[in-house]
Structure 1
């Protein structure tokens, strides 16, 4: 074979050799001080081992970085921390560096360090720094990345003539590792060139394999270090001044303490005493006319940070803790309910989580809420009294999650809700398994869950699921099935909408692993989903679906899809009566989604959607338009307009004797949202969020629901069920991270809502009337100060 042919063969096979190997780099012990200033001018940096030869992760998986985009990383350590110095070669004028609040990647280049102190492929501690100096950090597992986790570490960046420099100091208290004299850490380094949406890693990652967290390199050379005492105290104080439409003005001063304590090198105890969640993001409330409650995002830091283990099995919906009172309030003769608190106060909460060297993850969460009263009034005498709306409640979650072979796990999960007195108690348990072949090519997963409700009469229920599929390569597929019994109930600490059904879901997908002429990424997903009610065998859902997600060579995102429902299906929930059902028409749903490259100053998101049914004039038309403009690397504004029109929508409105009354109505919904960000520097930002939600509906006619699920004309039901509903939320905040882990937050918030039993199509009237004698405002200041025991002991 000629030399030129051998050379060509080597070039062709080089990416595969790179993807197959596991790289190593050695850390060098130092005795002198390292100044985190982004200069790398200490002599120790020049003597350290170098990690180089980065390989593209996406879009062109396996392609070595070019010489003008090479990256060099060196690692130092001492008794306090591990240090990383990176030189990222590039043209300075092309480096993107938009400033943003912590954990927001924005439109900027990034460098990242992935650390696994046990080198077991189970959990990474990931630290990122943008070219603007913004820090991002997360806990990464096979289930994804959790950016609610925040560690205390130090970084600095500096622009130079041939690229940019990153210098990072990660104290040992920020990561987890064993007490062995010689350390072997899983390690990887990451770099993103934002302008081209190219992502590189030092240790190559094969995208053909579903699992990426196990594809790390090895950090050696660290010896004779000891895990520090991980005791962190976060005292806080908050001041609130509020003006409400009904209660006038009020002031509150709150104080409390969060505690984080490392019980061992791998287990952490978190506790909140006298919690304060007054500055969490507002909920996007909608007018909910359906049979199920609206599900809200969890915005309270304690219940979002480091909770990946507690989400095993899908039994936990933390908004139940401190949510609305759940007790039924019995009124006496001539009594009416005057006031019911909108939320129950949380007294305290603790969680213990970690993983042993053998791969056993343990998570325990406990929370207690206080007894809450409603106010009742006698309409004849005028006297008022208190009635228990929610007793003292204890919420508990326990998880045992055994991982093995670095890519599989079996977990036991239990949730328990115990209410004081004669109120309802609940206990739910689950066995969850996720099994992968050694080569991460096939997966078998599923669960079995059992619920026990102790109420007026005990009820037991169960559910079970199983799924098998191919998880690697261009072509992937899976087949799954799910069964839920009628009395299965997790809603005391979880959230579940439907029961008493089984389903079958077959899926297949095709994707490209390397760019083509037109696409950087392209993925086609197809499937058939069917769902049947247990008692009658009637089909609740039956659809064929196909969706495409793609990223063009210009890094514009394009997605489109279609769902075909060729069968009449039956809704067993809309009638609000057990055993009754409403027949749904055949239908077709389609959408297109376009998102232009956010690297451009002006970008645009557009999504039209259309649902057409076999019923005459029963359709849905939707449109999302969201332009965004980046005025500079410090200022960004995003506007979103969302429009929806439901014509001849069918829904329950009430009862007339034994008749179930269904209406046909035209409903229009318009949502306007404006968000903005002004960054003074990477640690100080102003943020704006404003949302106006407006919906109105006109009932066209009322119908009686027949036993076979069809509708018949009703001429006697004449109640007015027209509606117009508005909500308004406005948040303007200032955030300053004035010290590592320490934050000053100032928030001005107002909100309002209006509701009418008539249709008003005048937008300006609806918007203006929101603020007439209906506006609630809150101004608050909160200070949180981070205290590390290892530093504080020196004060003493």
Structure 2
């Protein structure tokens, strides 16, 4: 009880600081935007008369590595802004006493490569919470992202805007046009926006900002300047249509290819200046990046990144509270047929077809963010056939289903927020339905020196028409000191046994409570030998709710540094100093496996990417406190930039585990484990040839081979230990994966793209292990299911206002 009261008073004192700390006075530079009365040509030359009379933003501050130091005259930056009823126009003059040394690698969108770049950060509500960032490289490459104080940068967001660049004898110049459709702001007659400008001189790795950003404070978005002068703008209708047409040709060896023609349209509509509707009327995700699958021997499914543009662009609001995993939409069916004697499924689908999807998102002037995402998937049947009678029947494995996410996120005090999130999956008929809600908060003091965040979550799952629904909850609280050289954080959570958000979210472990802590040190200014240095000490402990047994524990120390030549290196050591009780690996409720203490150490080196040749290397070694159980490996990735257009990156990953204990099977009476040897070899190659910033060729290759060979078998005892057991079924694993993509992309107009893709891929899993690497490569390349696919897709961006003017003129 004494411990409880001590903790209570400590938390009370911590929260008290949120109301008592005096507000910090941050320097706010101001820039006046000038209204544009005539048209200008976007060419990077800045020779129009109106640019000569526009107010100037200058005197930039160092951000990294010399934080707060004024820019030298040899690298000074000047920025001007014009506006009309349609867009902002930004001109930047970036002086450089050595223009011949300006780095300007040509890359695809959202990839800075090895190039100087200039950026502008715009916050239309000036609330210190969310910025829209637009970057232009010295090769006229574009990148854009949404930055929030809680979630950082999200480069999956893409907007339609224009830029041009010109290299001069004094340095280089940028001219940008950012339509109002690309940002969000209120309807006030007089606008006051948060704004900052950013520049990186790549060869020096020096970064500058117009308004000073103090790195002693972790809040980048609250340290912007002010943009004034935008008045009485009459924004046009924000309606954009993006029709597409695609052709796919697929073939297997010794089979004639089958062609498919698809067509559809995406729609974007500005409901107000702050809210936007995005809709996919007929989805087409055929050219998304392939998934890097692995040999997964654990109890949980492998998690993949989202590659579908609709579910990556502008979805930061929907990720509040961690309830939303978009790959659930259109994933494999949620059920599998009950099979009778001699019955088998002819072909079980790996995914369900998405019929349509839409999302509405935006934020009011008062800081209330509203997000609604809805998607519908089609009914999916499989054919079950009796091998003796040859009779077949159709079984529904996934009915028509509706997926919905609703978010209300209230921001206040510039750097704090409280959000309500609800996810809902409703399946037609007597199938599984799920409803999950969360109340999450992220609170910061005025000085951004302390943070408190957490959530309460509740799930309600109806299991296929059962009368008794499954109900579960989560509570979590984390506290942190977020400024200065030394920082710390600690917190914990509680997850009930019945909590389940996996219909539209991702959560594998339940029925536990945990605690974690962190102490870190970092340099805020460069030293005589280093540009940066940081070290961290982390600890984590997880306990089973029913037994209070320790089911996970780790103690980690890591450090990283960057030297004056901008080479980076790091080191990490992790220890599990207690035996743990794993309640998930046995795959049977209430059972557990006791795993021993283990120790792991690793290091990494990453040389300066400015050099034509650079490399990354990451070796590791570890062992468990059990005779003969050890593991090691290395990741190596050299890269070579032939010139500003051509670059290749090779990656090699090798890993080996010896005498690892792991689950392999379950019989009617026993849970079977084995001591096994594992080995993984992975080779990858990424390359690009850029004709210009709008036209790129890319190659992406991956071969993955992994096997697990069982040496001796055991059965799991009730006390969590194992004993020798004779088990003769072959449960060895050998997985070969092959993926090869060759693509061409051409952005032939703003927002309009033609893409051509050739892909071949194959997967082969079997129980027979051939330990000869070359034999495995030959087997997968000549595999009977090596699929060849060719596709071409054209998407055209139509602005309603421009189309309307064309129609009127005609």
Q: TM-score, normalised by structure 2?
A: 0.95
Q: Conserved in 2, the CA contact under 8 Å of 1:532 and 1:538?
A: yes
How big is the shift at 1:333? 4.0
Q: Does 1:128 align with 2:135?
A: yes
* Residue 762 of structure 1: aligned partner: 772
Per-residue deviation, residues 175-213 of structure 1 (Å, max 9, x unmatched): 222222222111111100111111100011011111110
What pairs up with 1:507-522 in 2 under 5 angstroms?
507-522=518-533
Q: Conserved in 1, the CA contact under 8 Å of 2:244 and 2:796?
A: yes
Distance 1:247 1:712 in 2: 51
Q: Conserved in 2, the CA contact under 8 Å of 1:179 and 1:227?
A: no
Per-residue deviation, residues 250-291 of structure 1 (Å, max 9, x unmatched): 110000010000101100000001100000000011111110
* Residue 734 of structure 1: aligned partner: 744
After TM superposition, the structure 1 stretch with the greater mean CA deviation from structure 2, 581-590 or 652-661, is: 652-661
Per-residue deviation, residues 283-328 of structure 1 (Å, max 9, x unmatched): 0111111100000110000000000000001111111100101113
* Residue 180 of structure 2: aligned partner: 172
SS at match of 2:203: helix
* Residue 80 of structure 2: aligned partner: 74
Per-residue deviation, residues 586-635 of structure 1 (Å, max 9, x unmatched): 11111101110100000000000112111111111010000000000001
What pairs up with 1:84-163 in 2 under 5 angstroms?
84-90=90-96, 91-142=98-149, 143-163=151-171
Q: Conserved in 1, the CA contact under 8 Å of 2:185 and 2:365?
A: no
How big is the shift at 1:122? 2.0
CA 1:211–1:111: 2 relative to 1, 3 Å: same
How big is the shift at 1:453? 0.7
* Residue 31 of structure 1: aligned partner: 37
State which of 764, 771, 786 in structure 1 corresponds to 2:797: 786
How big is the shift at 1:526? 0.5
SS at match of 2:295: coil
How big is the shift at 1:506? 1.2
Structure 1 runs of 4+ off > 4 angstroms? 245-248
What pairs up with 1:307-346 in 2 under 5 angstroms?
307-346=315-354
State which of 524, 531, 549 in structure 2 corresponds to 1:538: 549
* Residue 363 of structure 1: aligned partner: 371
* Residue 696 of structure 1: aligned partner: 707
What pairs up with 1:671-750 in 2 under 5 angstroms?
671-714=682-725, 716-750=726-760
* Residue 11 of structure 1: aligned partner: none
After TM superposition, the structure 1 stretch with the greater mean CA deviation from structure 2, 324-333 or 762-771, is: 324-333
Q: CA RMSD in A?
A: 1.3
Task: Provide the aligned length of Structure 1 versus Structure 2.
Answer: 778
* Residue 280 of structure 1: aligned partner: 288
* Residue 258 of structure 1: aligned partner: 266
Distance 2:26 2:496 in 1: 47
After TM superposition, the structure 1 stretch with the greater mean CA deviation from structure 2, 334-343 or 230-239, is: 334-343
Q: Conserved in 2, the CA contact under 8 Å of 1:372 and 1:391?
A: yes
* Residue 751 of structure 1: aligned partner: 761
State which of 51, 70, 73 in structure 1 corresponds to 2:57: 51
CA 1:208–1:175: 2 relative to 1, 3 Å: same
Q: Which residues of structure 2 form unaligned runs of 5+? A: 1-23
SS at match of 2:230: coil
Distance 2:242 2:183 in 1: 19
How big is the shift at 1:246? 9.0
SS at match of 1:748: strand
SS at match of 1:790: helix
Q: Conserved in 1, the CA contact under 8 Å of 2:288 and 2:308?
A: yes
CA 1:392–1:246: 2 relative to 1, 3 Å: farther
Distance 1:700 1:517 in 2: 54
SS at match of 1:632: coil
After TM superposition, the structure 1 stretch with the greater mean CA deviation from structure 2, 765-774 or 595-604, is: 765-774
After TM superposition, the structure 1 stretch with the greater mean CA deviation from structure 2, 302-311 or 80-89, is: 80-89
Q: Conserved in 2, the CA contact under 8 Å of 1:656 and 1:717?
A: no
Distance 2:496 2:254 in 1: 46
After TM superposition, the structure 1 stretch with the greater mean CA deviation from structure 2, 323-332 or 295-304, is: 323-332
SS at match of 1:79: coil
What pairs up with 1:360-509 in 2 under 5 angstroms?
360-455=368-463, 456=466, 457-509=468-520
How big is the shift at 1:377? 0.6
Q: Conserved in 1, the CA contact under 8 Å of 2:386 and 2:392?
A: yes
State which of 354, 357, 368 in structure 1 corresponds to 2:362: 354
Distance 1:67 1:32 in 2: 33
Q: Does 1:661 align with 2:669?
A: no
Distance 1:506 1:388 in 2: 48
Q: Conserved in 2, the CA contact under 8 Å of 1:674 and 1:689?
A: yes
Q: Which residues of structure 1 form unaligned runs of 5+? A: 1-17
Q: TM-score, normalised by structure 1?
A: 0.96
Q: Conserved in 2, the CA contact under 8 Å of 1:669 and 1:695?
A: yes
What pairs up with 1:208-287 in 2 under 5 angstroms?
208-245=216-253, 248-287=256-295
How big is the shift at 1:330? 1.6
After TM superposition, the structure 1 stretch with the greater mean CA deviation from structure 2, 410-419 or 549-558, is: 549-558
* Residue 593 of structure 1: aligned partner: 604
SS at match of 1:50: coil
Distance 1:205 1:180 in 2: 28
* Residue 550 of structure 1: aligned partner: 561
How big is the shift at 1:756? 2.6
Q: Does 1:625 align with 2:625?
A: no
* Residue 785 of structure 2: aligned partner: 774
SS at match of 2:632: strand
Q: Conserved in 1, the CA contact under 8 Å of 2:738 and 2:781?
A: no
After TM superposition, the structure 1 stretch with the greater mean CA deviation from structure 2, 742-751 or 578-587, is: 578-587
